Structure 1
């Protein structure tokens, strides 16, 4: 049974789930399910630019890892198969895998993929920001240097994650305003200038 933090986010503790998330297509599919909600394999294939058979395979891998599940209540007929995320989000700590080489390797691979995708999204935004001045004026970037203990960094992390979760899990107001998906990421780690 997966472990969930008090905020409902799944704490990934096994190599199978980490390995499943370390694939670019599967990662994009999970993002699409997070942003757009439940979907069929054909809908995800179209959204992520892959063949339907490939999307079905990746969904099977994600389901075996306990990251997605079928949503039969959404099907219009017996042939249609809908999928949804099992959890509102995932997190992991490489420190928890010190005794499991396979899980530690998968954790590094998943982390590397996440970082690569964050970098690519930032590059794409920078290349296109001028075409949407209203969003360019609202977008932000923050970089700060602090002197912290590991415990203080953990406290700061909790505060930032709680704020992001509050905004991502809120009920979207029905006020007629059009809202776009917005990607926000933060990292904190020891470093030198």
Structure 2
């Protein structure tokens, strides 16, 4: 059974604190609610509540490394069946609140990656040369029809999936965010 927009897992992330908690844990690894609250500029109670909501949905997990009073949260490993799909076609959403949530989440994702890229632009000078040369924004225009567009997106996804854990156990391996943003241009 497919999720309707109103009960789809992506809707859980249509809250600014939840999306920030998940993004922080994916980028920086495990943390307690207090550590997350300090890093995200919020309070521990709200952070703890939203971390539990994300855990109930299977997006976060308790690492078991807490001291009995606090939990150390980590982003859950994603698999194909549990992955949150943020590519919902907004034309399929009938409910005004669901549409507002989906649009907010899409804009928040764009803002999040823009902030990440601005951070890289400022920090890249302190990185080794090969990282400076290979990381960054690559903008190319392509000419495709609808079938070719779908095939290209699938191919890009397959390439990224092949590299998802390729560096595991390799000294010097770093997590890299690869953002695919296919946007039609005005005619």
- Partner residue of 2:134? 138
- Partner residue of 1:168? 164
- What displacement does 1:78 show? 4.2
Higher strand residue share = 1
User: Are residues 153 and 83 of structure 1, via their aligned partners in 2, closer, same or farther at CA, if it must alter by over 3 Å?
Assistant: same
TM-score, length basis structure 2: 0.76
- What displacement does 1:34 show? 2.5
Partners of 2:177 and 2:67 lie apart in 1 by 34
1:23 paired with 2:18, answer no
Unaligned runs of 5+ in 1: 4-10
User: Are residues 25 and 79 of structure 1, via their aligned partners in 2, closer, same or farther at CA, if it must alter by over 3 Å?
Assistant: same
Out of 121, 124, 128, the residue aligned to residue 123 of structure 2 is: 128
Unaligned runs of 5+ in 2: none
- What displacement does 1:152 show? 1.6
CA contact (8 A) 2:90 2:102 kept: no
Partners of 1:133 and 1:63 lie apart in 2 by 37
Residues 130-150 of structure 1: CA distance to partner in whole angstroms, max 9, x if unpaired? 232422122142222222122
- Partner residue of 1:186? 180
Out of 41, 44, 59, the residue aligned to residue 68 of structure 1 is: 59
User: Are residues 21 and 99 of structure 1, via their aligned partners in 2, closer, same or farther at CA, if it must alter by over 3 Å?
Assistant: same
Out of 39, 57, 62, the residue aligned to residue 49 of structure 2 is: 57
Partners of 1:19 and 1:27 lie apart in 2 by 10
In the alignment of these two chains, the number of paired residues is 181
- What displacement does 1:13 show? 4.0
Residues 58-88 of structure 1: CA distance to partner in whole angstroms, max 9, x if unpaired? 2134345x253543x6245543434344561
Give RMSD over aligned pairs: 3.0
Partners of 2:110 and 2:4 lie apart in 1 by 18
Out of 73, 97, 100, the residue aligned to residue 102 of structure 1 is: 97
- Which structure has more relative contact order (CA 8 Å, sep 6+)? It is 1
Out of 147, 150, 171, the residue aligned to residue 146 of structure 2 is: 150
